[in-house]
């Protein structure tokens, strides 16, 4: 099985990224899978227009992934922008994509609703993503639930391309979503997201993490009383606990006797414990950017070998580029 997925370097890596996607990336590097994971810097261009910042953020995301356990010897870890076949395929896909399909995209509508200017890049974001998804002949794409609609759009665009050119040129892969962590809530109870300011950033300073957790909004239910269900505090604590501990948290939450502050301390402790080794490794990696750069370059070579083959097949069928030698 071959899997492919990407993460935008548009902000610090948070718990939602980890539980929804990165943990799957790690599982899939030990299973019998060939994995390609990329830093989606072309996608980040829709929100970041500061070259130095974007370059640093890409390298920082690569360091985060390696510190969390991604092994660049086993998987191809690379920058999306190092694969020129991605924007080339995106353009071809754009020519078969109905504008209405893009206008119905949740992520696009959400960004417009939050006042982001509706650039053509934002509208065609799913087309670029379809190129990522279709360029490597992958079988599956590990993602959180918020990317599922993008996967469906990619499959639809891929099928349209095959139909227009009259051959099975690209292979639409399926989404791999882990139901229990499909949508990790943020500190305010809505989806944890870089753009909502409600994240728990895995590599933030410990004091800052604790401060953010202590700031989770709670009501005035007294310590001894049962707590109302639906709080992100309990949901996050459950996600970071073993099944037995989670059961115990649920029990005491409904029975009463434990105050919100105690749950907040538990959540902060779990988070710090769970990622302490990664945080230490992350500090070591940040002193060796040249190692990360060379891993990213090697990853790009591996990914490009596949990309060239698929793009060769597709571009020839579309009638663009120098045709393969006669003879």
Q: Which residues bind ligand TYM (CB under 6 A)?
A: 5-8, 16-17, 20-21, 40, 43, 129, 132-133, 141, 143-144, 146-147, 181, 183-184, 191-193
Interatomic CA distance for residues 63 and 265, integer angstroms: 28
Nearest to ligand TYM of 178, 298 (CB atom): 178
Nearest to ligand TYM of 175, 285 (CB atom): 175
Tokens 């993602």 appear where? 143
Interatomic CA distance for residues 240 and 213, integer angstroms: 14
Interatomic CA distance for residues 135 and 128, integer angstroms: 11
Element containing residue 34 per DSSP (H, E): strand 34-39
Nearest to ligand TYM of 37, 263 (CB atom): 37
Nearest to ligand TYM of 18, 253 (CB atom): 18
Nearest to ligand TYM of 13, 315 (CB atom): 13
Nearest to ligand TYM of 65, 268 (CB atom): 65
Q: 3 by DSSP, 3-state: which?
A: strand
Contact 44, 54 (CB under 8 A): yes
Contact 76, 303 (CB under 8 A): yes
Minimum separation from the CB atom of position 112 to ligand TYM (A)? 16
Minimum separation from the CB atom of position 255 to ligand TYM (A)? 29
Contact 106, 64 (CB under 8 A): no
Nearest to ligand TYM of 6, 172 (CB atom): 6
Report the Cα 316 to chain-centroid distance in Å: 32
Classify the phi-psi angles of 77: left when phi > 0, otherwise alpha if psi is within -120 to 50, otherwise beta: beta
- Which of 16, 23, 26 has its CA nearest to residue 235? 16
Nearest to ligand TYM of 35, 133 (CB atom): 133
Contact 78, 296 (CB under 8 A): yes
What residues pair up with 185 in beta bridges, in sequence order? 191
Q: What is the Rg, in whole angstroms, of the alpha carbon atoms belonging to the chain? A: 22
Backbone angles phi, psi at 175, to 5 degrees: -85, 145
Minimum separation from the CB atom of position 38 to ligand TYM (A)? 7
Nearest to ligand TYM of 40, 76 (CB atom): 40
Residues 6+ apart with CB under 8 A from 162: 168, 169, 170
Would you state the structure tokens that stand for residue 169, as one six-digit string? Answer: 């040129």
Minimum separation from the CB atom of position 325 to ligand TYM (A)? 33
Minimum separation from the CB atom of position 194 to ligand TYM (A)? 7
CA distances from residue 326 to 85, 308, 317 in whole angstroms, order as listed = 23, 19, 15
């Amino acid at each position: 099985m071959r899997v492919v997925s990407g993460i935008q370097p548009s902000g610090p890596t948070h718990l939602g990224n980890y539980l929804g996607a990165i943990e799957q990336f790690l599982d899939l590097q030990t299973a019998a899978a060939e994995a390609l994971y990329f830093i989606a810097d072309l996608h980040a261009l829709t929100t970041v227009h500061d070259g130095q910042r974007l370059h640093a953020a890409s390298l920082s995301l690569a360091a985060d992934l390696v510190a969390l356990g991604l092994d660049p010897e086993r998987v191809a870890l690379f920058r999306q922008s190092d694969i020129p076949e991605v924007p080339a395929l995106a353009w071809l896909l754009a020519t078969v994509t109905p504008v209405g399909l893009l206008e119905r995209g949740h992520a696009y509508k959400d960004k417009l609703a939050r006042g982001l200017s509706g650039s053509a890049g934002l509208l065609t974001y799913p087309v670029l993503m379809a190129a990522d998804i279709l360029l490597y002949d992958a079988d599956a794409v590990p993602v959180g639930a918020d990317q599922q609609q993008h996967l469906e759009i990619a499959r639809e665009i891929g099928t349209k391309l095959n139909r227009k050119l009259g051959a099975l040129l690209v292979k639409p892969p399926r989404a791999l979503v882990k139901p229990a962590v499909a949508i990790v809530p943020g500190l305010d109870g809505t989806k944890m997201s870089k753009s909502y300011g409600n994240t728990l950033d895995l590599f933030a300073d410990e004091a800052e993490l604790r401060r953010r957790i202590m700031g989770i909004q709670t009501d005035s239910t007294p310590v001894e009383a049962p707590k109302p269900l639906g709080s992100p505090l309990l949901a996050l604590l459950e996600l970071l606990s073993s099944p037995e501990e989670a059961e115990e948290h649920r029990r005491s939450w409904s029975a009463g006797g434990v105050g919100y502050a105690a749950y907040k301390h538990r959540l902060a402790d779990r988070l710090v414990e769970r990622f302490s080794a990664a945080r230490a490794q992350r500090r070591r990696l940040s002193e060796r950017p040249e190692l990360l750069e060379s891993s990213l370059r090697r990853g790009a070579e591996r990914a490009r070998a596949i990309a060239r083959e698929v793009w060769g097949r597709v571009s020839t069928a579309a009638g663009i580029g120098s045709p393969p030698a006669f003879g």
